[in-house]
Amino acid sequence: MPDIYGNTAGLGPSALRALERIYRRRVPPDSIATPELVRSLADASREAGRQVGVLVHRSGVVDYVVVGTSTGLMLPDIGRLRAAQGRFRALRLVHTHLFNEGLTHDDLTDLTRLRLDLVCAVLLSPGGDPRSLTWAYNVPSGHKRAEGAESRGGSYEVVPPQPWGRPQPHFGQLIGALEDEFSRLSKSRTIEAKDGRAILVHVGEKSHPGAMRRARSRMDELASLAHTAGVEVIDRIIQLRDRIDPKLVLGKGKLEQVVIRAIDLDAETLIFDHDLSPAQASGIAAHTDLKVIDRSQLILDIFAQRAETRDGKLQVELAQLKYTLPRLGQRDDALSRLTGGIGGRGPGETTLEIGRRRARERLNRLERQLTQLERQRSERRRRRQQVDVPVVAIVGYTNAGKSTLLNTLTRAGVLAEDKLFATLDTRSRRLELPSGAHVILTDTVGFIRDMPKDLFAAFRATFEEAADANLLLELIDASDPEEAEHRRTTQELLDRLELRDVPRLRVFNKVDRLDEAAAEDLAFDEDAVLVSALDRSTIPPLLARIEEALGASLRRRATHDGHAWTSSGSTDPELLDELADH
């Protein structure tokens, strides 16, 4: 017996037989719906007292027969794989409307979300006979509207109710022409990034002061993160609500608009400027048929791409496992894997349990390996302390110019790019001060607001390289409009690392991008130094302030009588290079 989908409870044998007979119908390529199919749907709908619909394949075969309520129809899961670029699903929905009402919001949402060929409603008379047909189909932007059709927001066109029996347009030619238009449009869009196209989404609470300004600032930063990760941002969507939806973050209606926008722009990914719970991520993915990631996943992906040393790679993998482990309980789609409960019980482990166990085992191995690497870092720090080498650590918000400053001061040749987290692994180099004294200069991982807690925990040992510093250079991008917020974030993270008592020198970078008045305002701050890390002529005042701040340490070392000292009181450069850990 063929399957009948949907609301079949309470249907009698006669109604079920009428539904089963619909599977025998065939639709030729030139027709939206044959008179025989329309009559069968009307008869079955009258017998059941409910909406009845079919999903007809482009080959003419009825793939699904679905029963709804008197006012709506819930389609079965037709698979989560999207249609090929520029192509539809090769399925069209033909269904009855009992009260002579036109296409509903749900009908049009199914059309766009599922990328159906077409949605057609058979409008019935009070007696249950077919009265008229109305249908809609997806159209690309710039499409020339067909005669008699109504454009609805540019995403689809609706043909108003046509009397029953009037000739229909050639279905195959209509859909073929539309697919050709979509395909040409898709090919004309150049994908600028290696990881495809994405829409950014921010949802905030409107009661917060400055909610819109804050949302735009966060979206700018999220766009920079996406660029660093290799994703092309094609749209940004901001919604301010009374409260965040606990299930879908956005409201359901807004989420449907986002999906339609993603389809129009050929976006494969939604990136949320929020940390999504496992249930939220799964729920949004189920509603959208798109890849869904949150801010933490995006940052973790950047770290995974940027890690170069074994230390950094292990730390990133540890953070990713800690993030992923709670999410192994979520199903990606229907019956994608056993998750326990009905159908998943037995004497052995379920697939989910095996995955969790292996993840925990790997996590434990990583933690042991990182403990060993931490011992090695501690040994290097101990050797530095034995020869009493002053350490200066550069700290600050990501993309403030820390690596560029390290390169300018030491000619280190470290990678420096105008991207967030361009440098991930801690770098230490020898720096010679104007007096001839040497210090070790360390570049640290950049900070960012709302840093994922798993990432912060995994990289805590790396951040703590600054704990043994004699001086912190707090580098600030003076040209960034969010400079004050970045300083607050840096202070909060330094407090979490218990580094508030380490002497600190505030260094404003990129002052060459400021206008004259803004630069003069900064110059009045006696505790700050103004530099442009790309301009070596601005560096001497910084070196002088470093030497001044390290005065006691340098004087103490100048009287040291250890074997590592040269006759001038400077440490042997070769030993310093070794301690700096090239």
Tell me the pLDDT tens digit for each residue of 86-99: 689 999 999 999 99
329-338, 525-534, 566-575: which has the highest mean pLDDT?
Answer: 525-534
Mean pLDDT estimate for the chain: 83
Q: Does the structure show a pLDDT above 70 at 84?
A: no
SS3 245: strand
End-to-end alpha-carbon separation of the chain, Å? 72
Q: Which of 441, 457, 399, 449 is nearest to 424 (CA)?
A: 399
Cα distance between residue 443 and residue 391, in whole Å = 11
pLDDT score, position 133: 97
pLDDT score, position 473: 95
pLDDT score, position 56: 97
71, 31 Cβ separation under 8 angstroms: no
Q: Which residue has the tokens 């590592």?
A: 564
Cα distance between residue 3 and residue 63, in whole Å = 10
H helices present in 157-210, as ranges: 171-188
Question: What class is the 197-303 domain?
Answer: alpha beta
Q: What is the band of 252 on the pLDDT scale with cuts at 50, 70, 90? A: confident
pLDDT score, position 232: 93
- Bridge partners (DSSP) listed for residue 440: 391, 430
Q: Does the structure show a pLDDT above 70 at 319?
A: yes
Cα distance between residue 124 and residue 101, in whole Å = 9
Q: Note whether 197-303 and 387-580 share their fold.
A: yes
494, 518 Cβ separation under 8 angstroms: no
Q: Which residue has the tokens 């993270």?
A: 493
Amino acid code (one letter) for 345:
R
Q: What is the mean pLDDT of residues 155-166?
A: 90
Give the alpha-carbon dihedral of 226, 227, 230, 235, to 10 degrees. 60
Query: What are the residue boundaries of the structural domains of the chain, listed by start?
Result: 4-188, 197-303, 307-369, 387-580
pLDDT digits (tens, 9 = 90+) for 338-366: 344 433 344 555 566 677 788 888 888 98
Q: What is the mean pLDDT of residues 269-296?
A: 89
pLDDT score, position 509: 95
Q: What is the mean pLDDT of residues 291-304?
A: 90
165, 144 Cβ separation under 8 angstroms: no
431, 554 Cβ separation under 8 angstroms: no
Percent of the chain with pLDDT strictly greater than 90? 44
Q: What is the band of 523 on the pLDDT scale with cuts at 50, 70, 90? A: confident
75, 93 Cβ separation under 8 angstroms: yes
Q: Does the structure show a pLDDT above 90 at 553?
A: no
Task: Give backbone dihedrals phi and psi of 104, rounded to 5 degrees, phi first.
Answer: -95, 170
H, E, C per residue of 246-268: CCCECCHHHHHHHHHHHHHCCCC
Query: 342 or 55, which is more confident?
Result: 55
DSSP secondary-structure letter at 435? T
Least confident of 93-102, 103-112, 373-382: 373-382
Q: What is the mean pLDDT of residues 299-316?
A: 83
| Segments of 248-332 assigned E as strands | 269-272, 291-294
Give the tokens for residue 158. 């609706």
Cα distance between residue 319 and residue 452, in whole Å = 9
SS3 150: strand
pLDDT digits (tens, 9 = 90+) for 395-408: 999 999 998 999 99
CATH topology of domain 387-580: Rossmann fold (3.40.50)
Q: What is the mean pLDDT of residues 502-519?
A: 91
pLDDT score, position 356: 77
Cα distance between residue 374 and residue 524, in whole Å = 42
Cα distance between residue 235 and residue 203, in whole Å = 15
